[in-house]
Structure 1
Amino acid sequence: MDISQTTIHNEQQHIASDTQREQIHPIKEITFGAISGMIGKLVEFPFDTIKVRLQSSNSVLPISTFQMISSTYKNEGFFNGFYKGLKAPLYGACLETAILFSSYNLASTFFVNTLNDYDKSSRHHVDSLPFWTKCASGGFAGFAASFILTPVELIKCQLQVVNLVSEGKSTASYSSLIKSTLRNEGVTGLWNGLSSTMTREVIGTSIWFGTYEYINDYYKTAKDPWIKNHDIQLLLSGAMAGVTFNLSMFPVDTVKSNIQTQGIYNKQGINAGFWSIFKSLISKNGGVKNLYKGLGITMVRCIPANALIFYSYEVLKRNF
């Protein structure tokens, strides 16, 4: 083997090894993703309850985040108010995060193999996966997860607001709401809001993984990063991924929450679509600000939740 062939071989090995560090056994990958999702959901769920209620509130007068928190605790207590409907989202978060990480790594592996094949045929050296492939892999992961996430979030959002409508006296449960949905709308009713969920997840998860990978790459290549502790770097990368995801996709999430909870407020059986609800929200008192109801508390919850999701996944992968 001459020098040029040796160089090409070493370059190909560099690309392969860059990916192999990210590859783990599929069962471990699913397990680590599930555990990480569960940890994140336990942290964020009380905040998410308030966020959904603020997004879906039909009150004429604006309700502040503090007023909603105070009212929820006073009328419903801590667990019944803030953790209403936790069980299925907890399972859903396990499944969703497992799918997100598995799908992301599957798509990344596809891009690596494709680039390696291109490298072999053209002798063109690629140091690592281009940033766009990481965003594209994230979009694919969001697409896959949206099919699981939609029915889980549908029932979760309805449970989170049903107490608000009934002043804390509702006896609704996951099973009763699922039966009601199946009876009134059929099986497809469980996927009400799929298009808005998919829009949020495809674009948002692309940004989510893209932000995480971009910040991680910075710490890997920076000669003198301002934060040198690896654990803090992981936490910061995950936190920033959550911030960019929620800031960019919050209006879509608001419309999605209203689509999925309109049956609780509207007893006439009329289901409005994405653009109808979007126009309705911005035409109300407050205008565009209505699309950002609950953004503040969402920022509070997304920072620790997403930091822990990525951190716990990386720690589990590193140690097991």
Structure 2
Amino acid sequence: MASPSHMEVKASLQVPGTAALPLTPRTAAMEAIEDILYGSLAGVIGKYIEYPFDTVKVRLQSQPDHLPLRYRGPLDCFRQSIRADGFLGLYRGISAPLFGAALETSSLFFFERMGREVVYKSGFTPKDEALPLGALWFTGAFSGAFTSLVLTPIELVKCKIQVPINESGGPAAAPLRPLPVIKDIWRHHGFMGFWHGQLGTLIREAGGCAAWFGAKETTSKLFQDMNERKASSPQEVERLRVDPLPLWQQAVAGASAGMSYNFLFFPADTVKSRMQTAPMGVVDGVERRNFAQETVALWRQAGLKGFYRGCGITVLRSAPSSAFIFMVYDGLKTYLPMK
């Protein structure tokens, strides 16, 4: 995603031999509205692409440590899930995640913009210059940390719907719905119970979003530099600096972002998923585990490989999903800017 400062720098460039066009300054409020609206739309599209794979990932991650593994791998999980519930069963509970995806993606872009403002106000980079890549990795982490607070309750509800378990720890008799799940969480654990797994979400989002935004910007810059080196004239170089990257390069940059996000901090996501799919309340006299306890239990059960159950399919599905998210968001910002 091109930062606003980058867009402003591009907009101020003048191709030799042409008249400079007057620029209308964008207000911070208008930029924020664009982040929320366009980020929400991009998030919903991305969620439809990735949700079946996310369901499989959560089911692989959350296999109980006191029973034999139910699924041998992603393909086996797909087969068993489709056999039991049909293909649409992989979309079970998507209503809450769709809302969550809209909220998450818009929050990511909104807080990332706030992170850039923090960097500018710190004096690290002059306001009229594009941020260096290192600063963009920081703004990604800044965005992820704040977004984790928004995301944890939504992910908690989503995980419990994807892996339905009754209060005794066995499979639920019927598919769960968002509202009953929300009521159960409130009844057992109160308001703060919605942030069960927050530490795992924080680690995944802060680190992962640094990689998400950072990898996207780094890859985009590599393509930009490559395109400029191939330019045959100074005028073409100036044009390349103003125009968006070719669509396939945008897609590759977005895909690299998603794959980096999901791979680097996958173990934290695994622990979080196990925490959030555990039965609510006290089961057999045992309270639900915290992040450290769940980490130790998983290590004892499966070792290092247990932390990466479902990692391959998650990284693969994140490539098209993130590519579409960035392409939709950047495309809307470029071609349908709000006046």
Q: Under a length normalisation based on structure 1, what TM-score does the superposition of the two structures give?
A: 0.85
Could you give the per-residue CA deviations for residues 176-222 of structure 1, whole angstroms, max 9, x where no partner exists?
11111101110111111111111111111111111111111112222
Q: Distance in 2 between matches of 1:154 and 1:96?
A: 14
> Which residue in 2 is equivalent to 1:39?
45
> Which residue in 2 is equivalent to 1:318?
334
Verify: 1:271 aligned to 2:271, yes or no. no
Change (3 A) 1:119 1:101: closer
Could you give the per-residue CA deviations for residues 33-87 of structure 1, whole angstroms, max 9, x where no partner exists?
00010011110000000000000012414622111111111111122x2011100
> Which residue in 2 is equivalent to 1:6?
none
3-state SS, counterpart of residue 267 of structure 1? coil
**Superposed, which structure 2 residues align to 1:271-310 within 5 Å?**
271-284=288-301, 286-310=302-326
Q: Distance in 1 between matches of 2:33 and 2:261?
A: 27
Q: Distance in 2 between matches of 1:77 and 1:167?
A: 17
Letter in 1 for 2:180: S
> Which residue in 2 is equivalent to 1:28?
34
Q: Which runs of 5+ in 1 are unaligned?
A: 1-13, 121-125
3-state SS, counterpart of residue 201 of structure 2? helix
3-state SS, counterpart of residue 265 of structure 2? helix
> Which of the residues 77, 100, 116 maps onto 1:68?
77
Alignment length (residue pairs):
297
- C-alpha contact 1:135 1:206 (8 A) present in aligned 2: yes
Q: Could you say which structure has the higher helix fraction?
A: 1
**Superposed, which structure 2 residues align to 1:1-320 within 5 Å?**
17-18=8-9, 25-58=31-64, 59-61=67-69, 63-79=72-88, 81-115=89-123, 128-162=130-164, 169-222=173-226, 223-224=228-229, 230-263=246-279, 267-268=283-284, 270-284=287-301, 286-320=302-336
- C-alpha contact 1:72 1:82 (8 A) present in aligned 2: yes
Q: Distance in 2 between matches of 1:78 and 1:237?
A: 30
3-state SS, counterpart of residue 92 of structure 2? coil
Letter in 1 for 2:141: G
Q: Distance in 2 between matches of 1:17 and 1:114?
A: 19
Q: Distance in 2 between matches of 1:307 and 1:167?
A: 35
Quote how far apart the aligned CAs of 1:119 are: 5.3
> Which residue in 2 is equivalent to 1:4?
none
Letter in 2 for 1:299: V
3-state SS, counterpart of residue 263 of structure 1? coil
Quote how far apart the aligned CAs of 1:29 are: 2.1
- C-alpha contact 1:162 1:264 (8 A) present in aligned 2: no
- C-alpha contact 1:16 1:112 (8 A) present in aligned 2: no
Letter in 1 for 2:9: D
3-state SS, counterpart of residue 162 of structure 1? coil
Could you give the per-residue CA deviations for residues 81-115 of structure 1, whole angstroms, max 9, x where no partner exists?
20111001101110111110011122213323444
- C-alpha contact 2:281 2:287 (8 A) present in aligned 1: no
Q: Under a length normalisation based on structure 2, what TM-score does the superposition of the two structures give?
A: 0.80
Q: Which runs of 5+ in 2 are unaligned?
A: 13-25, 231-243
3-state SS, counterpart of residue 63 of structure 1? coil
- C-alpha contact 1:75 1:168 (8 A) present in aligned 2: no
Letter in 1 for 2:114: L
Quote how far apart the aligned CAs of 1:279 are: 1.3
Matched residues, percent identical? 33
Quote how far apart the aligned CAs of 1:26 are: 2.0
Alpha carbon RMSD of aligned pairs, Å?
A: 2.7
